Amino acid sequence: MKFAQSGLFIVLFILFLVFVVYQINIDRSEPEYVEDVIAENLDTVQIRPPTLLYGFPIDSFTIIENTIRRNQFLGEILSEFRVTDQQIHELSLKSRKVYDVRKLEARKKYIILCTRDTLPRAEYFIYEPNEIDYVIYKLKDSIEVSLNQRKIDTVNTAVAGVIENSLWVTMTDAGADPLLIHSLSEVFAWQVDFYRIQKGDRFKVFYEQLLVDDEEAGIGKIIGAYFNHNEEDYYAVYFDQGSGISYFDENGQSLQKQFLKSPLRYKRISSRYTRRRYHPVLKRYKAHLGTDYAAPTGTPIRSVGDGIIEEARYSQYNGRYVKIRHNSVYTTQYLHMSRFGSGIKEGVKVIQGQVIGYVGSTGLANGPHLCFRFWKNGQQVDALNVKLPPSEPVNEDKRDEYDVVMKSILKQLDSISFDIKGDSLTAYVIQ
Ligand SMILES: [Zn+2]
């Protein structure tokens, strides 16, 4: 009886394990971010001891790893490991339909799995044309060739930090992939002026790290992010409401706005928009209906939004300038250029971020700078203070779904600490 009971217990336990594994598999294939899945990924650190190499148990082989030298033939490599000319001939014939040995390139990595004898004999030759693919040339028993792909794992990863000098240094010190910096600056392009990151600005990013054989192989998407810039909090939550990758704030508003925060990488703002200022060249009071960005001659100037070039010409006061009409509401103008960007002329379409010219001091200017002017509905307005409408928010019918995702991601972001010790930065990576 006792035996039967423990037998039943074992069966139930196995069923339970199967259920657990099944649940994990379900969660992994689920595209939505369920709170528990995120928590699980953040909390568990999984370190698998590497016991398999390309699916082969590493203990059973002597492993030779090398790169193909220039003008080196496969026969030359393999003949050292007791592979006969006959086998090499057969291999080259059989490889043609799968991955021709004549396509093997110099400087690429190969691995030979040999018998563990005093005179090792090659059993498998493995070639890696790129980070994902690998070709197995089987030499043991019968000769076979197969093209395989590595599995890409996605690990949800978090990184946080307080900026001391630059975002780049802070993020790379925190162990983040440099690609993440680019992605983050895209997510917050309309909220954070990445040309003007301040000391003390803070960030937390929750993103997908891609792994191939436990080696970092790029990043996936940013799932959620927080940025404190100039003492303002900004949240970004990834959500696809059917129109592709979009980031929304905690209120379901899109982070996409229509314009870049600034049209160039500048040294300082030398003059702001004002109805009355003392003109340094004219030596009298005059309204300044633009923003002057001081920057070295030759600094690229970018269109702050998509649009059509309305004017690209020279005038006595404006010097070489470009005026862009973005839509029926907004127009921007860029003055004192040393030269125009390639292909910039009247009537040409430009896209946001496109270089339209280079900083200069043509026209009425006492030094190299860009005078940037902004029109809203035909009125000149202050580009630094103009309120711009966001792009499409989360649709009403997706709002409940979004709120669940958003709350989960914000909770995760809030649980990440900056871990500051005095003035020094300590950021960390959870895997
Ligand atoms: Zn100006």
Q: What is the CATH number of the domain that holds 305?
A: 2.70.70.10
pLDDT value, residue 157: 84
3-state secondary structure of 74: helix
My answer on whether 167 and 216 are in the same domain is yes
- Alpha carbon of 350 to ligand 1 centroid (Å): 23
pLDDT value, residue 59: 84
My answer on whether 300 and 317 are in the same domain is yes
Residue 187, C-beta contacts closer than 8 angstroms, at least 6 positions apart: 222, 225, 236, 247, 255
- Alpha carbon of 274 to ligand 1 centroid (Å): 10
- Alpha carbon of 190 to ligand 1 centroid (Å): 23
Residue 90, C-beta contacts closer than 8 angstroms, at least 6 positions apart: 143
Q: Which is it for the CA torsion 413, 415, 421, 427, positive or negative?
A: negative
Domain containing residue 215? 153-254+393-430
- Alpha carbon of 339 to ligand 1 centroid (Å): 17
- Alpha carbon of 290 to ligand 1 centroid (Å): 5
- 239 part of a folded domain: yes
- 339 part of a folded domain: yes
Q: What is the mean pLDDT of each run of 10 residues along the chain (431 residues)?
A: 60 54 38 32 38 80 90 89 92 92 89 90 92 89 91 85 85 80 80 78 90 80 92 93 83 84 90 78 78 95 92 96 85 96 95 95 93 90 79 90 93 77 37 37
pLDDT value, residue 30: 32
Instruction: Say what angle helices 2-29 and 35-43 make with each other, to 10 degrees.
Output: 100
CATH number at residue 202: 3.10.450.350
- Alpha carbon of 105 to ligand 1 centroid (Å): 57
- Alpha carbon of 352 to ligand 1 centroid (Å): 22
My answer on whether 202 and 248 are in the same domain is yes
- Alpha carbon of 143 to ligand 1 centroid (Å): 75
Residue 221, C-beta contacts closer than 8 angstroms, at least 6 positions apart: 183, 207, 208, 238, 245
Residue 253, C-beta contacts closer than 8 angstroms, at least 6 positions apart: 390, 393, 394
Q: How far apart are CA 333 and CA 301, in angstroms?
A: 11
H helix intervals, 167-308: 167-173, 178-187
DSSP state of 424: B
My answer on whether 186 and 111 are in the same domain is no
- Alpha carbon of 374 to ligand 1 centroid (Å): 11
- Alpha carbon of 229 to ligand 1 centroid (Å): 26
- Alpha carbon of 272 to ligand 1 centroid (Å): 8
Which of 149, 180, 209 is a domain's end point? Answer: 149
- Alpha carbon of 293 to ligand 1 centroid (Å): 8
My answer on whether 159 and 231 are in the same domain is yes
- Alpha carbon of 72 to ligand 1 centroid (Å): 64
- Alpha carbon of 281 to ligand 1 centroid (Å): 11
- Alpha carbon of 194 to ligand 1 centroid (Å): 23
- Alpha carbon of 364 to ligand 1 centroid (Å): 9
- Alpha carbon of 100 to ligand 1 centroid (Å): 64
pLDDT value, residue 424: 30
Burial 343-374 (b: 16+ CB within 10 A, else e): ebeeebebeeebbbbbbbebbbbeebbbbbbb
Overall domain count for the chain: 3
My answer on whether 371 and 420 are in the same domain is no
Write down the residue that tokens 């300082």 correspond to: 268
Q: How far apart are CA 99 and CA 136, in angstroms?
A: 9
Write down the residue that tokens 């139930």 correspond to: 12
For 140, half-sphere exposure in the C-beta direction (CA atoms, 13 angstrom radius) is: 13
My answer on whether 142 and 170 are in the same domain is no
Chain centroid to Cα 143, Å, comes to: 42
pLDDT value, residue 11: 59
Q: How far apart are CA 349 and CA 427, in angstroms?
A: 43
- Alpha carbon of 275 to ligand 1 centroid (Å): 12
My answer on whether 337 and 423 are in the same domain is no
- Alpha carbon of 155 to ligand 1 centroid (Å): 49
